[in-house]
Amino acid sequence: MKTLTLPLRPEDVRDLSVGDPVALSGVLVTARDAAHKWMVDTLIRKTRPPEGDDQACAAALRPLLDGGAIYHCGPVVAGLDSGEYRFVAAGPTTSSREEPYQADVMAHFQARAVIGKGGMGARTLAACASVPFVYLHAIGGAATLIARTVTRVVAVHKLDFGVPEAMWVIEVKDFPAVVTMDAHGSSLHRDIESRSAQALIRLIGLEPGAG
């Protein structure tokens, strides 16, 4: 088990390889579908002019994401009435939906880790090497267990996106994950998919997805 403490330096990330179990500590930010679209449209490609609290949110997020980590997660949060927020359940959501955005987001903010489940595609893998950053796979569905590693809810941005889609700034201690895409071009997901495609060909006697 490798222990990682945020923020991470490029050399910390390059020290990691596919298969390494890690325990992550420090402050990270949750972001999923609405947040990725917002970051890309408003802050990166600027196809949509900033409005409301966009600039203030961006200013608050930049220092957290520089060397930081983005967690694909839509949590169950208690204390919504009082504002004394507590994470009740907080496993990862499927990362592949952020494939169109992730490489740009990581490069823009110089973030060093993205945490999710299911892995990501070729464009993100290439960016893992160039930015650099790693993809950390958390255990899908292990939501109560993971919520126990959240020691504090520091802040929340974009709560108008809804509780699951908001950008929650949380402090974690020994958040468990495994490196499945590294900064050296390796991806466990690419390898498993290729092996399962070969197994499928054996089982049904042709190429998957053909025709």
Active site residues: 36
Stretch that binds another protein, among 2-10, 41-49, 83-91, 100-108 (CB under 8 A): 83-91
Residue 52 in contact with another protein, rule: CB under 8 A: no
Residue from the set 48, 140, 173, 184 that interacts with another protein by CB under 8 A: 140
The closest alpha carbon to 184, from 135, 129, 147, 143, belongs to 129
**By the rule CB under 8 A, 142 interacts with another protein:** yes
Q: What track of x and - describes contact with another protein for positions 25 through 44 (by CB under 8 A)? A: ---------x----------
Does residue 139 interact with another protein by CB under 8 A?
A: yes
Compute how many residues bind another protein; rule: CB under 8 A.
56
Q: Verify binding: residue 194, another protein, rule CB under 8 A.
A: no
53 interacts with another protein by CB under 8 A: no
Q: Which of 195, 69, 45, 40 is nearest to 138 (CA)?
A: 69
Neighbours of 59 (CB within 10 A): 10
Q: Which is nearer to another protein, 5 or 196 (CB)?
A: 196
Burial 27-44 (b: 16+ CB within 10 A, else e): bbbbbbbbbbbbbbebbe
Bond before 132 cis per omega within 30 degrees: yes
Q: CA-CA distance, 99 to 36, in Å (whole number)? A: 10
Query: Does residue 76 belong to the site contacting another protein (CB under 8 A)?
Result: yes
* Cα–Cα distance, 20 to 197 (Å, whole number): 25
* Neighbouring residues of 136: CB distance < 8 A, sequence distance ≥ 6: 22, 24, 69, 113, 114, 115, 116, 177, 178, 179, 180
Q: Which of 135, 161, 168, 175 binds another protein (CB under 8 A)?
A: 161
CB of 7 to another protein, least distance (A): 25
Q: Output the smallest distance, CB 178 to another protein, in A.
A: 6
In the chain the first and final C-alpha atoms are separated, in Å, by 44
Q: How far is the CB of 55 from another protein (least distance, A)?
A: 21
13/136 Cα distance (integer angstroms): 11
Q: Which residues bind another protein (CB under 8 A)?
A: 19, 21, 34, 73-78, 88-91, 93-94, 96, 117-119, 137, 139-148, 161-165, 176, 178, 180, 188-189, 191-193, 195-197, 199-200, 203-206, 208-211
